[in-house]
Structure 1
Amino acid sequence: MPAKHFVNDPTHLVASSLRSLSITNPAVAIDTENKIVYARRRSSQSKVSIISGGGSGHEPAFGGFVGAGLLAASVAGTIFASPSSKQVLAAIEGVDCSQGVLVTVMNYTGDVLNFGVAVEKAKARNPKMRVEMLVVGDDVGVPRSRAGKVGRRGIAGTVLVHKITGALAAAGFGLDEINRVGSLVSRNMVSIGVSLDRVHVPGRALGDASDRTLGAEEVELGMGIHNEPGSGRRSGREAELPALVDEMLRQLLDADDKERGFLETRADKMVLLVNNLGALSALEFGAIVTEVADQLRKTYTIVPARVYAGTYMTSLGGPGFSVSLLNVVDTSLDTDILQLLDAPSEAVGWATAVKGETWDTEENAEVNGSSAPPQLEGAESSNVSCDIEATIRRLRAGLNAVIAAEPEVTRYDSIVGDGDCGTTLRRGAEGILKLLSTSPTDDVVTLLSMIASKVETTMDGTSGALYAIFMNALTQDFKLRSGPAAIADVEFWSLTLRNASAALAKYTPAKVGDRTLIDALEPFVKTLSSTGRLQDAASAAVAGAAKTREMRASLGRAVYVGEESEWRGKIPDPGAWGLGKFFEGLALSAE
């Protein structure tokens, strides 16, 4: 894989790429601090706002689809990582909310959790605001038996959902109708990708597990857009274009395939989208589009009603392509799917030209980050009696244990994940330690509130969202139970930890045995409640984390990554292991 880049600093790369959107399209503005792209409002008529986003590296998605007739805003994370809930909340409250907001997100755990946190916080801040979240999954590359509780990943077909829902919003339809049709489109859409090789992420050292290249004669069928391995490798004649397209179309259209038959019926009309993952030349890509169209016509008697071919959702500079097919189903409205796809829009990522008069806009293209909504968290004191010195001492010990374990956690996650779990935990731990040094407090509720805020600003991805939900719920429960007679003893902590765990369960289906951080968290909470001993609870958490070595992943990116035989019995879940180390540090400081 090519490992040379013109821009090697990933932070500068993402920021500069976002700024380019305001340079090429005067109809959008950039909130640089929160990595948000906004469509400028040029009409006094309020309409439903569509918001989407995800990790950077998929350009032109998602920022390139911001504009009239498409998205009202998009939010960007770091490369291949979900944006934080704080960023998403800023986007939700930065658009026109008067007619409601539809938040559209691809089905990846980190995205679902972080966007979910933001949706719930937005509704809590303004109970009159209507916000709905639509999760799109269209990838058939991972069979049902491996997808587990996660379901289908979202890939390039998501762009069609954006275009159709954006057109509905522009036409003045209501939030409920737009959400319903968006869900209908997602259910009637299938996609699959293939790549000649993986890609190198700028700023990442060579040699990561995710950088493992394919053989000279191999291709990866069903590869995900975050460098995840697919359903299998092909070589020889099976890796030649006609055979590859034949297998891809069979996986998309074979209704008898119980593992991948997501289209129960085939509509009379279908839409075809062929997507360049980033590195294919226009010459080669044209040949691919021809092969796909020819096989659809000859083998399946399908002549698509619309064909979209181009670069819509990339995997950085991935040398591959994906194919998406959409049933043209009845919307039960006075406009159909083809009309919605044909509707005018003004976004550089969609294959339409920006109107000439748009270039006359002379407004400043930058949005000051300080104009984003103020943070919810405040330093609220309470009446909870707590040995704050002992609490902070134990907290420091646990955080230092997490930092010490970072290389180990990173090594584990490089094998079974995307390699960022250890660094995410370390960033959070270092941020909280700095907070403890610079913002001292003698109130436990203030301490928890500040930690919750720090987690949201320093930790991204799946881990960040899970810890943010848990810490916000823990803080809220402390506030509800505060009072002159409240004492933060073991019984008090046990109850609040149980309630925070219950709140977390609303946003993730993970249970003990699913190979997640829950395998360390739940034993800790239950043991602390039953024995009242921190040392016993920590031991239970460490034992729970160790047991994940033998578990099959049901959630998270490990569902899609690698062969189980490579790590089963050897590698624990990185998130559970890191959390176990934290609890172990807490307990050692209490001895």
Structure 2
Amino acid sequence: MSSKHFINDPIHLVNSALHAITLTNPSVALDADNKIVYLRPTQNGSHQKVSVISGGGSGHEPSFTAMVGPGLLSASVAGTIFASPSAEQVRRAIMGRVDNNGTDGQGDGGVLVTVMNYTGDVLNFGTAVEKARAAGVKVEMVVVGDDVGVGRAKAGKVGRRGIAGTVLVHKIAGALAAQGRSLGEVVKVANLAARNLVSVGASLEHVHVPGRRESEEQHLKVGEVEIGMGIHNEPGSSKETIELPELVGKMLGQMLDQKDEDRAFLNVNSNEVVLMVNNLGGVSVLELGGITAEVVAQLEKSYGIRPVRILSGTYMTALNGLGFSITLLNVVNTDIGGPGMIELLDAPCEATGWAAPISKGSWEAKNTATREEKVSNDNEIGPSGLKGDAKVAQDALTLGLQNVVAVEQEVTRFDTIVGDGDCGIGLKRGAEAILKLLSEKPLTGDAVIDVASVVPVVEKTMDGTSGALYAIFLNSLVHSLKTLAPGEVTPKVWAAALKQSSEALSKYTPARPGDRTLVDALHPFVEVLGQTGDVKQAAKAAFAAAEGTKGMKASLGRTVYIGGHGYEEVPDPGAWGLAYFFLGLAGVKAAEDKDAGWEKI
């Protein structure tokens, strides 16, 4: 792993890379505030009815951002490195940066949203899809999980991760949409492609995220390769010291061995099979060629498979990952009375991330058109009459947020052991943004207005799984408080509203107490507050529950893939950070609990 980078500021890195996409492809534009790369509108129009949107954490380029172009994606939405974009970013892409009613003027278009199977992505993109549907947009979502590196038993409720095979779903769906097909047809074929994919990766080393301390990363031994490693450094099925031929044999076995009940996700039995050998970012072009030759040779010798198309190159990376992945697409009949999967893969497109050049006509057109945003602000709230002491609320909220900032390093350390290391930074980013808001616009004392003012800050600054969960919870909390207005906002009123919001959150995530998530701290706080009306007692219960997650095996999130004994050593990072927030609401600073103990509160 190399920790040397030309750009060490991860925020500047992402923003400048997004801008670069518009420099290398004149057909696309950038909504910098929301990190949306989108197709510029054209003067001569298009017969395309359906727009295709995807996205995810940055660091996987050229996937997503560089796949935007005529004949492929209509827009992509980027998060920070390895973290999902927020639901609000995705909503703005659906509502304002693509044609969502069709360019034929008949209103029979729509939007397909494709997303890889990671909890944060599914939650954030799913929330945006639901908001767009509520606004009257025809939109469907397809979730891609093609990775066989983690089997059924270990994946549990989470299911297969999405990796490089997702790019083939994008290409097929984008080509079909460009031919003017209906939303139903595009969704059907995208789902068919997703269900007929298997992929697995391998890497010689974990990647280093710019701006992150090197000591937080775990090295592989010299000569050791990790089979099934995920694209965010998630562990796979094994670490072994083997040469390339044996490595490729094991990878193909995980994809094709029908006797392996834990991994026999797909019977690759078509007369036509597409092979993609993908560079995770740090393998030389020369070496990738040698890897591709070995894969092709073993497919024919061991399985009698001669791929009808072979794609070898860089399609989805893990930053500068020193590894590669293999993807097989089982080509099946699309049953739509038109083009098949091979024809759709061969269809022309103009996206710099796909192996196709930008046409001379596109360069000479010098298109500078952009889309003017026409998305309404749905966070404007009027007075509710649910009043409380603004200064007391401001002081309590400020201390809670300061606690979250203070424990960032501790939460980050925990998350590097049982996650991908971004939890503490994400919580700190959101807390600092809210603190800035409070300094500029102090609380009014109207509970509904005050909570509503925080919602857009959270949606814009917090990404990943935690950001999605907090955004859903706070949006619901605004609604719950409205139903309890007018009147005095007491601890009992807060408890009733928080309980309603917890129930709403449970509709979007299967996380329950005991699954080792932030819900483990949230649930006892809400329950005890409702029973006692005492914030200190509620915070005490939340903190004890967060401590209790140490040794608790995860059922959800990336921690499921981590394995090992890390979960026995540290508590859940999300629950720990939230417990310290509740600690602040109870009037206790982050440093005090270690010295005073809960018995003195």
TM-score range, shorter chain: over 0.9
1:262 has 2:265 as partner = yes
Q: Which TM-score applies when normalising by structure 2?
A: 0.93
User: What is residue 221 of structure 2 aligned with on the other side?
Assistant: 215
User: What is residue 41 of structure 1 aligned with on the other side?
Assistant: 41
Find 1:327's aligned residue among 325, 330, 335. 330
Matched residue SS, 1:550: coil
Q: Which TM-score applies when normalising by structure 1?
A: 0.94
Whole-angstrom CA distance in 2 between matches of 1:75 and 1:474: 26
Whole-angstrom CA distance in 1 between matches of 2:227 and 2:584: 44
Whole-angstrom CA distance in 1 between matches of 2:456 and 2:479: 13
User: What is residue 201 of structure 1 aligned with on the other side?
Assistant: 209
1:63 has 2:73 as partner = no
Letter of the 1:529 partner, please give it. Answer: G
Find 1:276's aligned residue among 252, 264, 279. 279
User: What is residue 398 of structure 1 aligned with on the other side?
Assistant: 400
Letter of the 1:340 partner, please give it. Answer: L
For structure 1, list consecutive stretches of 5 or more residues without a partner in the other structure.
Answer: none
Find 2:351's aligned residue among 347, 356, 379. 347
Contact persistence 1:255–1:265 (CA under 8 A): no
Taking structure 1 as reference, are residues 52 and 550 closer, same or farther at Cα in structure 2, changes over 3 Å only? same
1:51 has 2:59 as partner = no
Matched residue SS, 1:102: strand
Letter of the 1:540 partner, please give it. Answer: A
Q: Which deviations, in whole Å up to 9, do the C-alpha atoms of 1:405-454 show, x marking residues without a partner? A: 22221221121112221122122222222222211223111100011121
Find 1:172's aligned residue among 160, 170, 180. 180
Whole-angstrom CA distance in 2 between matches of 1:262 and 1:25: 37
Shift of 1:353: 1.7
Shift of 1:291: 0.7
1:119 has 2:107 as partner = no
User: What is residue 515 of structure 1 aligned with on the other side?
Assistant: 516
Shift of 1:265: 5.5
1:411 has 2:421 as partner = no
1:462 has 2:465 as partner = yes
Q: Which deviations, in whole Å up to 9, do the C-alpha atoms of 1:19-69 show, x marking residues without a partner? A: 222222111112222221111233243511000011111111111111111
User: What is residue 101 of structure 1 aligned with on the other side?
Assistant: 111
Q: How many residues align?
A: 578
User: What is residue 585 of structure 2 aligned with on the other side?
Assistant: 586
User: What is residue 363 of structure 1 aligned with on the other side?
Assistant: 367
CA RMSD after TM alignment: 1.8
Contact persistence 2:48–2:181 (CA under 8 A): no
Whole-angstrom CA distance in 2 between matches of 1:8 and 1:403: 22
User: What is residue 78 of structure 1 aligned with on the other side?
Assistant: 80
User: What is residue 232 of structure 2 aligned with on the other side?
Assistant: 226
Contact persistence 1:46–1:96 (CA under 8 A): no
Whole-angstrom CA distance in 2 between matches of 1:224 and 1:443: 46
Whole-angstrom CA distance in 1 between matches of 2:560 and 2:263: 16
Whole-angstrom CA distance in 2 between matches of 1:427 and 1:60: 26
Letter of the 2:38 partner, please give it. Answer: Y
Contact persistence 2:28–2:37 (CA under 8 A): yes
Whole-angstrom CA distance in 2 between matches of 1:78 and 1:113: 16
Find 1:110's aligned residue among 113, 120, 137. 120
Whole-angstrom CA distance in 2 between matches of 1:69 and 1:410: 41
1:501 has 2:502 as partner = yes
Taking structure 1 as reference, are residues 122 and 283 closer, same or farther at Cα in structure 2, changes over 3 Å only? same
Q: Which deviations, in whole Å up to 9, do the C-alpha atoms of 1:111-154 show, x marking residues without a partner? A: 11221222222233x2x211111111100111212112111111
Letter of the 1:97 partner, please give it. Answer: N
Whole-angstrom CA distance in 2 between matches of 1:355 and 1:401: 54
Matched residue SS, 1:588: coil
Matched residue SS, 2:312: strand
User: What is residue 529 of structure 1 aligned with on the other side?
Assistant: 530
Shift of 1:536: 2.3
Contact persistence 1:516–1:575 (CA under 8 A): yes
Contact persistence 1:38–1:74 (CA under 8 A): yes
Whole-angstrom CA distance in 1 between matches of 2:269 and 2:540: 54
Whole-angstrom CA distance in 2 between matches of 1:110 and 1:519: 18
Whole-angstrom CA distance in 2 between matches of 1:14 and 1:436: 28
Matched residue SS, 1:569: helix
For structure 2, list consecutive stretches of 5 or more residues without a partner in the other structure.
Answer: 102-108, 590-600
Q: Which deviations, in whole Å up to 9, do the C-alpha atoms of 1:225-262 show, x marking residues without a partner? A: 11222221110xxx211100100000001122121110
Give the percent of matched residue pairs that are identical in Structure 1 and Structure 2: 56
Q: Structure 2 matches for 1:124-163, cutoff 5 A?
A: 124=134, 126=135, 128-163=136-171
Q: Which deviations, in whole Å up to 9, do the C-alpha atoms of 1:462-493 show, x marking residues without a partner? A: 1111111100110112123324xx33223322
Letter of the 2:115 partner, please give it. Answer: V
Q: Structure 2 matches for 1:245-260, cutoff 5 A?
A: 245-260=248-263
Shift of 1:355: 1.6
Letter of the 1:122 partner, please give it. Answer: A
User: What is residue 570 of structure 1 aligned with on the other side?
Assistant: 569
1:551 has 2:552 as partner = yes
Whole-angstrom CA distance in 1 between matches of 2:543 and 2:299: 53
Contact persistence 1:277–1:317 (CA under 8 A): yes
Contact persistence 2:520–2:549 (CA under 8 A): yes
Contact persistence 2:256–2:267 (CA under 8 A): no
User: What is residue 15 of structure 2 aligned with on the other side?
Assistant: 15
Matched residue SS, 2:495: helix
Contact persistence 1:39–1:73 (CA under 8 A): yes
Shift of 1:589: 6.2
Q: Which deviations, in whole Å up to 9, do the C-alpha atoms of 1:150-171 show, x marking residues without a partner? A: 1111100000000111111112
Whole-angstrom CA distance in 2 between matches of 1:490 and 1:347: 54
Letter of the 1:377 partner, please give it. Answer: N
User: What is residue 196 of structure 2 aligned with on the other side?
Assistant: 188
1:291 has 2:299 as partner = no
Contact persistence 1:138–1:190 (CA under 8 A): yes
Matched residue SS, 1:357: helix
Shift of 1:266: 2.3
Shift of 1:273: 0.8
Whole-angstrom CA distance in 2 between matches of 1:433 and 1:283: 51
User: What is residue 541 of structure 1 aligned with on the other side?
Assistant: 542
Taking structure 1 as reference, are residues 395 and 312 closer, same or farther at Cα in structure 2, changes over 3 Å only? same
Whole-angstrom CA distance in 1 between matches of 2:503 and 2:170: 33
Letter of the 1:580 partner, please give it. Answer: A
Find 2:479's aligned residue among 476, 479, 482. 476
Whole-angstrom CA distance in 2 between matches of 1:302 and 1:265: 9
Whole-angstrom CA distance in 2 between matches of 1:206 and 1:263: 39
Matched residue SS, 1:556: coil
Whole-angstrom CA distance in 2 between matches of 1:463 and 1:131: 24
Whole-angstrom CA distance in 2 between matches of 1:380 and 1:129: 26
Contact persistence 1:377–1:449 (CA under 8 A): yes
Letter of the 2:326 partner, please give it. Answer: V
Taking structure 1 as reference, are residues 49 and 248 closer, same or farther at Cα in structure 2, changes over 3 Å only? same
Whole-angstrom CA distance in 1 between matches of 2:530 and 2:22: 54
Q: Structure 2 matches for 1:229-240, cutoff 5 A?
A: 229-235=235-241, 239-240=242-243
Whole-angstrom CA distance in 2 between matches of 1:36 and 1:192: 29
Contact persistence 2:48–2:179 (CA under 8 A): no
